[in-house]
Amino acid sequence: MYKVLVTDNVNDEGLTKLYEHEHFTVDKNTELPPKEIKEIIHQYDALIVRNQTKVTKEIIEHAANLKVIARAGVGVDNIDVDAATQKGIIVVNSPGGNTISATEHTLAMMLSLSRNIPQAHQSTTNGLWERDKFKGVELYQKTLGVIGMGKIGTEVAKRAQAFKMTILGYDPYLTEERASKLGIKKATLNEIAAASDFITVHTPLIKDTKHLINEAFLAKTKKGVRLVNCARGGLIDEHALLAALHSGHVAGAALDVFENEPKITEGLLKQANVIVTPHLGASTQEAQIRVAIDVSEEIINIFESQSIRNAINMPQTSGEVQGRMEPYLMLGEQVAQIGIQLLNDAPEKIDITYAGELIEEDTSLLTRTIIKGILTYHLGESVNLVNAIHLLKEQGLTYNIQKNAKNKGFSNYLELTLHKHSKEIKVGAAIINGFGARIVKLNEYRIDVRPEQHLLYIKHQDIPGMIGQVGSILGKNDTNIGTMQVGRKEIGGEAIMVLTLDKKIEQNVADNIKSLIGMKDIQTLELTTGYNFQDSPFIEV
């Protein structure tokens, strides 16, 4: 049974699937102060919030059993994502649930701004009839600058075209090809500032976008420009905007979000050419139901089927992709375990190569699985798929991913290389049709070993009788050999043996083998024999 805590006013209709699910209990309390959340959060497996609750590092540090933090909406700036990642907690949101709602609110604000609708309404209800005072401007054939061409920005651009507006779009990931398909022009921020009659912002609030619309940007804009922000407070420097409104350079602004909600920068509300709403972009009945449904389904999928769709801090992986990649996830973990045990030290550098069919797949989850397998050897169960990359960077390690179209002699192939000073360990593996997972390379030696729980790796001089002597020692100590693979470069030179055993050998048995003439190295290797999301520390079933 999983326990879910809801601390904000999330739509109950949208939470129905969680309420009715036999494996979940839901506690909803929207009046909890931060201190009480901190005191009880250790009891819960999942937390659902909107934008009221601030999920701080302090709260996360007390979340001993928390696996998922779900934001019923888009922005996650009220959640300390870094702290959650370090703790191994998945952070998910509902990126598409309020797209239409926010899009329509943006257009409503733009129309209200252009025609002075709120001001005219207030004047008329006060008994006045001031037709000349509220003369507006048309959207028709005006230029609209859209900063941020994600889901909402894209939908705004599509609808603005119905007004015959010229659309300039800016986004770091916007290509000329996509802009052409949308019927807009790709532009720089400076080009948008210089040419736009209306500017609307639709970016997340991150370090690089805070005060994106600032004094310097506003100085580059056309006199008479109108600004709309229904995205995140802090994208517009409110003091710079106020100064530009006072000077008359900016003709008006429509704001749904503010830097320090619910507090609004003093002076903005006194501006006759500013219209404001209290963060209503996602506040439609339909949007609130959709985002609640989204996070409910996401939580159920994570715990019940281990399918992760809208994670902020790890690869977004559907059940379908996970199904295709599952054999490789198990193999990747085993390759990592072999590599790190043979290195027997913390690596300085990690190289991962994918070849054959794997170059066509999304291997981000596989990469995390391999890194998790490497780090767990020294860091233990604190490592999981969520925090593996973070912990790797924390250790000062670098990793490199290469995708090679050459198939390396196999239809699929993955290779891990661990570096430590002059020492290098290389492990290659493949899934062979009809035979399953195989370790096919150890350093420079070609082998064919099925990865099993107990392996014995031996490096020795290639002399007659070595295989027999090893088998004799194991037999005398009641250890059965499943398979044996040998590899050598030349007759009489250095060679290796890799044996699968029915059980782990005792140290005295290993010492007896190591004492044989011509023996160079012997290592017992212990592998996990299955991989599933359920085995990950953030999912306990």
Distance CA 108, CA 114 (A): 10
CB 388 within 8 A of CB 368: yes
Annotated catalytic residue within 21, 71, 232, 290? 232
CA 498 – CA 501 distance, rounded (Å): 10
| CA-closest candidate to residue 464, choices 521, 524, 516, 523 | 516
Tokens 């233990």, residue located: 380
- CB within 8 Å of 350: residues ≥ 6 apart: 371, 374, 392, 397, 398, 399, 400, 416, 417, 418, 419
DSSP lists the bridge partners of residue 289 as none
Q: Check 115, 178, 239, 279 and give the catalytic one.
A: 279
Distances (CA, A) of 99 to 48, 74, 102: 19, 9, 5
User: Helices 151-160 and 99-115, interaxial angle, to 10°?
Assistant: 50
Q: Give 89-100 as a DSSP string.
A: -EEE--TTTTHH
Largest CA distance in the chain: 109
Tell me the C-alpha to C-alpha distance, in Å, between residue 258 and each of 110, 233, 261, 345: 17, 4, 6, 51
Gap between the terminal Cα atoms of the chain: 9
Known catalytic residue: 286?
A: no
Phi, psi of 171 (to 5 degrees): -165, 135
What's phi and psi for 45, nearest 5 deg?
-95, -25
CA distance 403 to 231: 38
Cis link prior to 262 (omega < 30° from 0)? yes
The pairing of beta strand 412-420 with beta strand 423-432: antiparallel
Residue 20 falls in the annotated catalytic set: no
CA 160 to chain CA centroid, nearest Å: 31
**Three-class SS state of 400:** strand
The type of residue at 242 is L
Catalytic residue among 39, 215, 261, 266: 261
Q: E-assigned strands of 323-383?
A: 349-356
| C-alpha span between 163 and 465 (Å, rounded) | 87
Sign of the CA dihedral 464, 466, 467, 471? positive
261: annotated active-site residue:
yes
Q: Residue 6 is encoded by which pair of tokens?
A: 């809801």
Annotated catalytic residues are: 232, 261, 279
